Structure 1
Amino acid sequence: MPRPEIVDLFAGPGGLDVAARDLGYEVTGIEFDQDACDTRTAAKLLTEQGDVRDFGPDKFPGATVLAGGPPCQTFTVAGSGAGRRALDEVIGFVRRMAQGEDVRSDLALLDDERTGLVLEPLRWALQAHRDERPYEAIVLEQVPAVLPVWQAYREVLIDMGYSVARPEILHTEQFGVPQTRRRAILVARLHGKAKLPKPTHRLYRKDALRDQGDPELMPWVPMSEVISRPTRFEVISNYGTGGDPKARGRRTSDQPAFTVTGKISRNRVVALDGTELPRFSDPEAGILQTFPADYPWSGRAIAQQIGNAIPPLLGRAVLKAAIGSADEYAGS
């Protein structure tokens, strides 16, 4: 079997692409944002710049794997909430699209047009199926609020003949990422059984020690293991705990980082005696996302690029479980 080519929708600065390249795959990312494209160019990642809605499977006839992480701003807790409010409507669109309806005019009526972008991977999958060139595998990721949409996708993909693992919310620290971040993952396979990756590291719990938990799993990775600073430190989150903006979350360098967002520079970093220290730099934020330390971040809004990306280490685990390495795939 020839090595598969991956087309990555909403590819951002290259989180999944870095993982795919590490596994030996050829991957082309579609990305609209100029800054992210500047980073991708510097990282020598194949890129088609433009709106995913202006492309389709026919543009990438050699692609056998469809991947994507649609914009999350309307679904995330820190965002507008328009996507969460429209969740039932979005699931209705999934079912209508499965019946062959063109829902584009209705999508334009949503409060925020970005909400409808979560349906683009389904449009691609359905079109490829109609063209009798279905994707061998589909890998999608999004914030936890999108899990019901992935569950609706699953029903449609099963009807199309796919094996689809039950979508789940994965915790990044369970895959060696020095950060607690949750992502809703969908994996489908046209041939063979679809499966999600099994955790390699323990789940982080507040006040739990690294050596506590499942002895068959490795300890979660703390910030101090990947970021080189001369002293131990504490991070004071920009976000409140339990809805109280005054109750800032705190973590020491001996713990994983909070979820890395585009506002990571707003998190204070202090010595254990309370002395103010330099806040996280862009390269440090990238390392917490498991990008290489020398990743060539380019353009503007670098923190936002980093915060929007899937951690490459999580992407690698998902791709490895979904389709294996390129050599393994070619030999199957």
Structure 2
Amino acid sequence: MTDTDPNMVDLFAGPGGIDLAATRLGLRPAGIEWSPDACATRRAAGLATIEGDVRDFGPADFPTASVLVGGPPCQPFSVAGNGAGRRVLDHIVHLAEQLAQRRPVARHVTDPGQDRTRLVLEPLRWALTAADTGHPYRTIVLEQVPQVLPVWAAFARILRAEGYTTVCGVLRAEQYGVPQSRRRAVLIARLDGPATLPAPTHRAYRAGVPQDSGDPALRPWMSMRQALRREHPFTVVSNYGTGGDPAARGRRTWDQPAATVTGKVRRNRLVAADGRELERLSWAEAGALQSFPPDHPWSGGDIGQQIGNAVPVTLATAVLAAALAPTG
């Protein structure tokens, strides 16, 4: 093994949110990502990158890795109304149970939507394959939109049967220093000690509750004003309407955290106190709302989608630190 051999493999690695956190904690991550644009950003940031589909690789390709992390694409699970999202989750749980019984489950299917949905099974497939070859991952960390928590709970049951301790739950990004009220479902599994979610370091954001109110043992949540350092007050007007009514679009002032950052972040309008339209967010500012450093080298195309899909760096740092915390 050399100093550059990875000890962590990141599936669906995106532009580097989890890997920046891992590097801060002294890990040596390697990320698999199929978007050429996100790979361009990763390479510009000096992150070890394999451009390709995670289904074309496996644990044997990363023999020195003892940590497995992953944030599969969330779009198949962000389904509202008509119960479609629930049906997708039930099907995925069924397929996960098939994998746990070592029954074959197709990695690819002809329906494009189902094919993308099945990507969420890949971290479990990697974990079980590693266990079956006698070199299990010591630590596993997965994240997704909150709707996927039932899948993580199923994975947790399966991994406990493989000897892991597990925990899963929904975390609020602003409680870990992210200037954004994003919520993510997280699973942590460990072979070397008890699995625990990270304790919040900041207060939870509540509309109408002042920043300096709440548990004095926790720091105040971070506002857009603090993260972006713009000189004059502004209001962010969401690009999403409610029922087609522009007047119902969400609004956040600069003294609040941002709402969830999406791939359309630069469509949000910034409006001054006197109603003037202000310059919209730069890529660096949009990245800052995801707690990326201001000089992160966003590259390639579709940068908005890269930023919207990314894992906030400070949230990832807190989760990885909890997952790797020494025991005893």
Q: Does 1:196 align with 2:207?
A: no
Secondary structure of 2:209's counterpart equals coil
The CA deviation string for residues 144-192 of structure 1, in whole angstroms up to 9 with x for no partner, is 1110000000000000000001x11100000000001000000000121
Once the two structures are superposed, residues 70-99 of structure 1 have per-residue CA deviations (whole angstroms, 9 ceiling, x without a partner) of 0111112589x9655411111100111100
Aligned equivalents of 2:174 and 2:50: distance in 1?
A: 31
User: Aligned residue pairs: how many?
Assistant: 325
Tell me what 1:315 maps to.
Answer: 316
Specify the alignment match of 1:93 in structure 2: 95
2:162 counterpart of 1:151: no
Which TM-score applies when normalising by structure 2?
0.94
The residue number in structure 2 matching 1:102 is: 104
- Say which SS state the counterpart of residue 274 (structure 2) adopts: coil
Report what 2:274 is aligned to. 273
Matched residue, 2:218: 217
Shift of 1:109: 5.0
Query: Could you say which structure has the higher strand fraction?
Result: 1
Q: 1:1-332 residue pairs with structure 2 within 5 A?
A: 5-77=7-79, 84-104=86-106, 108-109=110-111, 111-165=113-167, 167-240=168-241, 246-324=247-325
Give 1:121's aligned amino acid. Answer: P
Given that 1:236 and 1:249 are in contact with CA atoms closer than 8 Å, whether structure 2 keeps it comes out as yes
Give distance in 2, aligned partners of 1:11 and 1:274.
Answer: 40
Matches of 2:322 and 2:48, distance apart in 1: 23
Which TM-score applies when normalising by structure 1?
0.93
Q: CA deviation at 1:244?
A: 6.0
Q: 1:150 to 1:296 in 2, by over 3 A?
A: same
Equivalent residues of 1:12, 1:309 under 8 A apart: yes
* Matched residue type, 2:175: Q
Letter in 1 for 2:77: F
What does the per-residue CA deviation read over 1:299-327, in whole Å, with 9 as the maximum and x for residues that have no partner?
Answer: 00111101100001000000000003xxx
Deviation at residue 281 of structure 1 after TM alignment: 1.2
For structure 1, the 5+ residue unaligned runs are none
Q: CA deviation at 1:230?
A: 2.1
Take 1:223 and 1:95, find their aligned partners in 2: how far apart are those partners? 43
CA contact (8 A) 1:11 1:68 kept: yes
Write the distance in 1 (CA, Å) between the matches of 2:212 and 2:231. 24
Q: Distance in 1 between matches of 2:33 and 2:146?
A: 22
- Residue 4 and residue 217 in structure 1: after superposition, are their counterparts in 2 closer, same or farther (change >3 A)? farther
Judging changes above 3 Å, is the alpha-carbon distance between structure 1 residues 120 and 256 closer, same or farther for their aligned structure 2 residues?
same
Percent of matched pairs sharing the same residue? 58
Q: 2:111 & 2:63 partners in 1: Cα distance?
A: 32
